[in-house]
Every structure is written in structure tokens, then in C-alpha cells.
Amino acid sequence: MLFLLAMLPLGAYGQEGTHELTGQLGSRASLLVLHGAKDPDGSWRLAGEYLILPTLQRRFLECEASPEIGVTTLREGATPILFGRSPTGELRGTWRNGVFKGARYAPGGQERERFEFSEEFPALDTYSASIRCDAADAAYASNLNLAVESGKLRSLEWRSKVAASGHTCALSGAQQEPFKGGLRFAAGRCSVTLRELGDYVRIAAEGCSEQCGSQAYFEPLLVDRRGNCRLMRPEAR
């Protein structure tokens, strides 16, 4: 997955790696995911996207920045590659103490809507669910069995298959780890994270190469309050 590039103030991109933020774009609940890397010359490259929930409308953003830049400006596009393409908008704002807020502008400069994102996700200490679901499309299939009671893991089994290669993933025997702003379960290097996103809980895995064939993976899932789930595979619109 490709991620957004941004011009961030020094306090915002003091760390390399992945950052997730939850919040509102206008009146719509949204998720923002950022990846940052520092070049040898001291400039920063960040790549990411935001997703509108629950429609999964997806927008990519990009830029490069030096630490001296004080305003966050995100150039927005409908495809991961924005170079040479007309932007669909721009997000401008400030990022302080884990909060990114400002306004989204049309290509002509008109303000469209306000936004505010935070790195603080709701706690899931009281979360309880018994999830048994199959989610699939033409290219991928996933089967998840997960039981959580009052924020404590009872059982987890997750399997997936990629149609084109026939390669599979199989995860079980995970143990709970301390985690702020959600729940995290780990089996070796593989970790499964639960985050609350408005009316949904997102379940995502990372570092699971030992549990998967070379071309297999775990697609993130969205689970509603009734325990129904869907693939979190966004579409650019």
C-alpha cells in the first residue's frame, strides 16, 4: 500500500515509521495512515493516504519537506502516483502534540471542509465480541474466528488465501500484548491490532511472513457492532 507525503512541522515528523490517526474530514469519520523516512540530506519523505469510513473513499497525498517548514501541506490525488497529474485537492493545517487539524481546499483554492485527526485512538479495555466471518472477493478470501471478552483475548484463528497463486496464511496461538488505544495480539513477529474507527473496529496484521506463503497476506478487516465484517480494501473514487 502506498501512503501520503506531507510537509510536516518538525515536531510532527520527529520519528520514522508508520503513524495512524483517527478523526473527521468534514462530518465524515476518517482514517489517516502515514509512513515517514529521512533522507541523508536531512529532508523528509512521507507517503500515505486517508480513507473516508465506511464508504472507503480513498485519497492519496504527497510532498517532501525540510524540517524548517512549519505548515503541513498535503497535495491530494486519486491515484498513488501524483507526479504529472492534476491534484484533486490539498490539505493544509498544523500538527502539534499528536493532533493534525486544518482545512481541505479545492484545486482552485476554495475551502471545502475542515478536518481534525489525532494519534489518540479510543481504548478497547471493555470491548467484547465473538466474530466468525468469511470475507472475500474474486482475488482473495479470508476466514476469521476471534473471541474477545472485556478487552481480553479468548481465542484467535485467522486464515486467508490468494486466488491467483493459491498461497495461504494461517495464524493461531497469539498472545495478548500491552497496547494503548486498542488491542494487540502477537504470535512471534506477527501481530494483530484492533483499533476503533467510529462504528467499526479495524483488524489488521503486520509482520506475518512466517505465517504466510510468499504471495499471501492478511487483508485488513472492518467489523461492525453486530460482528459483521468486510474487507478493508479501499477504492479510489
Domain extent at residue 221: 129-236
Q: Give the CATH number, domain containing residue 32.
A: 2.40.128
145 in the same domain as 105 = no
For residue 107, CA distances in Å to 49, 110, 121, 161 come to: 18, 7, 31, 41
| Per-position pLDDT tens, the chain of length 237 | 333 333 344 344 445 667 899 999 999 999 998 777 777 776 677 778 999 987 889 999 887 655 454 567 888 998 887 777 888 999 988 888 889 899 999 998 999 999 999 999 999 999 999 999 999 999 999 999 999 999 999 999 999 999 999 999 999 999 999 999 999 999 999 999 999 998 899 999 999 999 999 999 999 999 988 888 999 875 544
104 in the same domain as 61 = yes
124 domain-assigned: no
Q: Which residue, 118, 149, 181, sits at the end of a domain?
A: 118
At CA 63, angle to CA 25 and CA 237, rounded to 5?
A: 45
214 in the same domain as 172 = yes
If one counts the domains in the chain, the total is: 2
d(CA 13, CA 186): 27
d(CA 191, CA 133): 20
d(CA 45, CA 62): 9
143 domain-assigned: yes
For the CA atoms of 195, 144, 18, 21, the dihedral, rounded to the nearest 10 degrees, stands at: -30
In the numeric block, the cell 465473538 is attached to 130
Q: What pTM does this model have?
A: 0.82
SS3 content of the chain, % helix, strand, coil (to 5): 0, 55, 40
9 domain-assigned: no
228 in the same domain as 201 = yes
